[in-house]
Chains A and B, each alone.
Chain A
Amino acid sequence: MSVGLLYALAGAALFAIGLAGLLALPHLLRKILAFNILGSGAFLILVGLGQRDGSVDPVPQAMVLTGIVVAIAATALALALARQLLELTGRMQLPEDRADAETDDA
């Protein structure tokens, strides 16, 4: 097994951890962190698979560099939105879905 493949496998593990966190954790800051872990996993998979035969492939590396910047931008916007929600509602959680909300009201 090459080092590149090992990076890709670690990326798959990070992707799964991030996905679980994104879906299962209610706190928005944790969701944003989990989303970043998920993204890092995807980047590791791209770069790792690109060099699993030993030679470095510049194309996925350039794609990941682009992806990192977009991820930073998305994270900053997500944090600003989460903060706005905190100021408006005093909670760092997304509102529950309609059926649950009606049960809570009743």
Chain B
Amino acid sequence: MRRVLPVVIVALAALLGVALAAAMLALPPHAVRLPDDVAANIAVSGVAHPITAVLLNFRGYDTLLEIAVLLLALFGVLALVKSHAARAAHPAHPLLQTLARLLAPLMVLVAGYLLWVGASAPGGAFQAGAVLAAAGVLLRLAGLLPAWAAPALLLRVGLVLGLLVFIAVAAAVLGHATLLTYPPALAGGLILTIEAALTLSIGLTLAALYLASTEVRP
């Protein structure tokens, strides 16, 4: 039975893949034209790039919950990590340390650019946050950052800042219309405020997911 089971699973999964492909090939043309709706409303969204408009304005609720999920995952990871005192980093090769010291400020600059350009071109809070997190991981790998098994107060503020700013903006515009419907005149500024806070929090959270659980074995 044990030997037959994987074969059965692979056969069933292959069958599912073929059925999915057949269903896609048989799909009729689009019944709803969402890109047209996005293009028609982009002028009042506060940004010029359609994906950023969908993420932060038209479907802002998804993004609000997403940052909450990210934070919950970090809470889960922190709860599992045994709380040692911040472990000192293992010094890496001097060449890697020098490279990381050179690259980290550049990565912060790139993150800032990605955040700013997200209003009109591909980019935005998540891409910028990912670059920030990569800088954190690089510094950790070079042995320049201690592990974050127990984040201190300032770090905790940074981790929740994105979610709190997002909720504060959502609450502030609640009197205007439905949840997360920004007044068109303020939309651009509000979105940039949210995105700046999100960038910091996403970068710190993604970095912390790695930094909290790395253990330097002597």
Contacts from A to B (Cβ < 8 Å): 5, 8-9, 12-13, 15-17, 19-20, 23-24, 45, 49, 52-53, 55-59, 61-63, 65-66, 68-70, 72-74, 76-77, 79-81, 83-84
Q: Which residues of B contact A17 (CB under 8 A)?
A: 13, 17
**B13 contacts A65, C-beta separation under 8 Å:** no
Q: Which residues of B contact A57 (CB under 8 A)?
A: 34-35
B14 at interface (Cβ–Cβ under 8 A)?
A: yes
Sampled A-B contacts (7; CB under 8 Å): A58-B51, A62-B54, A66-B55, A70-B69, A72-B209, A80-B213, A81-B80
**A23 contacts B76, C-beta separation under 8 Å:** no
Q: Which residues of B contact A20 (CB under 8 A)?
A: 9-10, 13-14
B58-79 near A? 1/0 per residue, CB < 8 Å: 0100110010011011101100
**A12 contacts which of B21, B73, B80, B202 (Cβ < 8 Å)?**
B21
User: Which of B22-30, B84-92, B175-183 forms contacts with chain A?
Assistant: B22-30
**A80 contacts B38, C-beta separation under 8 Å:** no
Q: Which residues of A contact B81 (CB under 8 A)?
A: 80
B16 at interface (Cβ–Cβ under 8 A)?
A: yes
Interface band, chain B: 35 or more
Q: Which residues of A contact B50 (CB under 8 A)?
A: 58
**B73 contacts which of A55, A68, A73 (Cβ < 8 Å)?**
A73
B154 at interface (Cβ–Cβ under 8 A)?
A: no
B206 at interface (Cβ–Cβ under 8 A)?
A: yes
**A80 contacts which of B10, B14, B76 (Cβ < 8 Å)?**
B76
**A58 contacts B54, C-beta separation under 8 Å:** yes
B167 at interface (Cβ–Cβ under 8 A)?
A: no
**B24 contacts A59, C-beta separation under 8 Å:** no
In the complex, how many angstroms separate the beta carbon of B69 from the nearest chain A beta carbon?
Answer: 5
Considering the complex, give the chain A residue whose CB is closest to the CB of B35.
A57
**Considering residues B16, B50, B77, which has the most beta carbons from chain A within 10 angstroms of its beta carbon?**
B77
Q: Which residues of B contact A69 (CB under 8 A)?
A: 66, 69-70, 126, 202
A9-B21, A9-B24, A59-B34 known; A16 vs B6 contact (CB < 8 Å) = no
B216 at interface (Cβ–Cβ under 8 A)?
A: no
**A53 contacts B29, C-beta separation under 8 Å:** yes
Smallest CB-CB A-B distances: 7 pairs: A16-B17, A73-B73, A20-B13, A58-B50, A62-B54, A12-B20, A76-B209
In whole angstroms, what is the CA distance A70 to B206 when docked? Answer: 11
In whole angstroms, what is the CA distance A73 to B69 when docked? Answer: 7
**B76 contacts A77, C-beta separation under 8 Å:** yes
In whole angstroms, what is the CA distance A104 to B115 when docked? Answer: 56
In whole angstroms, what is the CA distance A77 to B213 when docked? Answer: 10
**B62 contacts A24, C-beta separation under 8 Å:** no
**B80 contacts A80, C-beta separation under 8 Å:** yes
In whole angstroms, what is the CA distance A23 to B21 when docked? Answer: 21
